[in-house]
Amino acid sequence: MTSTEFTTVDSAAAFVPAPATPYQGDIARYWNNEARPVNLRLGDVDGLYHHHYGIGDVDHAALGDADDSEHEKKLITELHRLESAQAEVLLDHLGSIGPDDTLVDAGCGRGGSMVMAHQRFGCKVEGVTLSAKQADFANQRADELRIQDHVRARVCNMLDMPFETGQAAGSWNNESSMYVDLHDLFSEHSRVLEVGGRYVTITGCWNPRYGQPSKWVSQINAHFECNIHSRREYLRAMADNRLVPQAIVDLTPATLPYWELRATSSLVTGIEEAFINSYKDGSFQYVLIAADRV
C-alpha cells in the first residue's frame, strides 16, 4: 500500500475539532493539562516519550547499589527500558510492514511508539489524539528527528479518523482503548485497515472470572478518568467488526516487575498500589490482542 504524503502544519492545535461529546472534551482537557514527571523524565532518557507501562524482568545489576548517588537515575533509565520493551512487543505483532505502508496509532500520546515504528519499518505513521498539547509535542519531536515527512500526529477523535477506507496496513491502541466504546472503536479500525491488515492492542482489562470490576479497578478508572473494559468485551467487539484474533497474550506477569520497581521510585503517582494489588488478586489483567481484518 502506498502512503499519502503528509501536509506540513505549524501547530496541531490549529486543527482542533470540537469534541463530539462532553466526555471527550473532559479527556482532551485532562491530557492537555497532564504533565506528570513520570512520563517526561522517563522520555528524557533517550527522547522516546511514552504514555504506557513496561514489561519484562528488571535488570537489577543495572540498578547498582541503592546507596549509590546515581541509583535514582539508573532506576528511571530501567523503567524507561521496560516501557520501550513493551512497545517493541506491540510492534512485533504487527506482522510484515514495508516502507510503503501506513500505520495508525490511535491515541498516540507524545509519539514514542510512532517514532519506534518508523525506525523499525521505515514506513509512514499517522497518530491521532484528542490532546493538542500531545500532538504538538509529538510533531516537534518528529521535526527534531527530521522524520516529519514520515511521522505525524493529528488532533481528532479515534472513532472518526481522517483516513481513507483501507488506507492502513496496520493500526494499534496502546493503553488508549479504555476511553471509548469498543464497538465504535473496532468499527473504525476495521474501516481504515486494508483486508488482511493487522490490528494490535495492549490494554488493561478487568477479568470476567472475578465477577465485576474490583475496587482497585474502580480506583484506576477514577485516577485516569477512563472506563476499563472486560477482556470478554474486547473479543466480542472484535468479532462484531471483522477483526479475527491471531494472538492473545497475558502480559500480567511480565508487567508486575515494572510496577513494583516504579513503586520504589521518586515518581510515584499514588496509583501504583491499585495496579499491583489488582494484578496479584486476579481482578485486573494486562493483555495483548493481535487481530487480522477479514
Q: What is the pLDDT of residues 149-205, one digit of tens each?
A: 999 999 999 999 999 999 999 999 999 999 999 999 999 999 999 999 999 999 999
The single-letter code of the amino acid at 158 is M
Task: Give mean pLDDT, residues 25-36.
Answer: 89
Burial-class residue 235 by CB neighbours within 10 Å (0-12, 13-18, 19+): middle
Q: Residue 208: is its pLDDT beyond 80?
A: yes
pLDDT at residue number 14 = 44
CATH 3.40.50.1100 fits domain 3-293: no
Helices (H), the chain: 22-33, 37-43, 60-63, 71-92, 112-121, 132-144, 182-192, 215-224, 231-239, 252-262, 272-281
pLDDT band at 38 (very low <50, low <70, confident <90, very high): confident
Does residue 288 have a pLDDT over 50? yes
Confidence at 5, pLDDT banded by 50, 70, 90:
very low
Position 19 scores a pLDDT of 67
Residues whose CB is less than 8 angstroms from the CB of residue 173 and which lie 6 or more positions away in sequence, other chains included: 106, 107, 158, 185, 201, 202, 203
pLDDT at 17: 58
| Confidence grade of residue 232 (pLDDT, cut at 50, 70, 90) | very high
**Among all chains, which residue has been given the C-alpha cell 527534531?**
144
What is the per-residue burial (b if ≥16 Cβ within 10 Å, else e) of 113-135? bbbbbbeebebbbbbbbbbbbbb
Please tell me the predicted confidence (pLDDT) of residue 20: 76
pTM of the prediction?
0.93
Read off the C-alpha cell for 274.
491499585
Burial (CB count within 10 angstroms: exposed 0-12, middle 13-18, buried 19+), residue 16: middle
| DSSP 8-state class, residue 240 | T
Return the pLDDT at 16: 53
CA neighbor of 168 nearest in space, from 107, 123, 122, 134? 123
C-alpha–C-alpha distance, residues 249 and 291, integer Å? 12
Residue 36 scores a pLDDT above 90: no
pLDDT at 263: 97
pLDDT reading at 229 higher than 80: yes
Mean pLDDT of 122-135: 97
Residue pointed to by grid coordinates 501536509 = 7
Question: Is residue 2 pLDDT above 50, yes or no?
Answer: no
pLDDT of residue 66: 85
Angle value at C-alpha 22, between 106 and 236, nearest 5 degrees: 50
DSSP notation for 99-159: TT-EEEEET-TTSHHHHHHHHHH--EEEEEES-HHHHHHHHHHHHHTT-TTTEEEEE--TT
Greater pLDDT, 148 or 9: 148
Nearest to 232 by CA among 251, 258, 206, 254: 206
**Number of other residues whose CB lies within 10 A of the CB of residue 24:** 18
Domain spans, the chain: 3-293
